Amino acid sequence: MRFVSSVLDRPDDASNRKSVRASWHVVAGLVAAGAFLCFSGPVLAQSDMERQAQCELSAIRDTRSPLAVQYIRSACNWLVVNGDSLLNASNKGYYVCLVRQLSGAQSNEAAAAIMSACRASNPL
């Protein structure tokens, strides 16, 4: 029994306990960081939903055409999801044109003409 207490009382054991304690702090930090990263996804999704809502609110204001509203919503969705992608850069102009030009469309006929003009000026 005396041998056990003399082994535990060595100075090396105190430094070992500190390193074990420090290791547990590192593990706890990694767990906390992992939890933060896991739960940051919904925050990003909420941000995308807010961006889409802002796009729609800015464009739909005085729009009376149901077709225009439908295409504005679709274009805002595309811009939020794909707008920053370099792979889709060639399509971005078309969707920006829809959001800008369909805003305020009063009839489905006017909306169809605007969509056709956006397609012609920004070929996909």
Tens digit of each residue's pLDDT (9 = 90 or more) over 15-67: 555 554 555 555 444 444 444 444 444 555 568 999 999 999 999 999 999 99
CB atoms within 10 A of CB 71: 23
pLDDT at site 23? 55
Q: Is the pTM of this model over 0.75?
A: no
Q: Are 99 and 79 in contact (CB under 8 A)?
A: yes
Tens digit of each residue's pLDDT (9 = 90 or more) over 58-84: 999 999 999 999 999 999 999 999 988
Residue-by-residue DSSP string for 43-84? HHHHHHHHHHHHHHHHHHTT---HHHHHHHHHHHHHHHHHTT
Banded pLDDT at 86 (limits 50, 70, 90): confident
Q: If residue 42 lies in a helix (H) or strand (E), which one and from where to where?
A: helix 11-60
* Distance (Å, whole) CA 122 – CA 124: 6
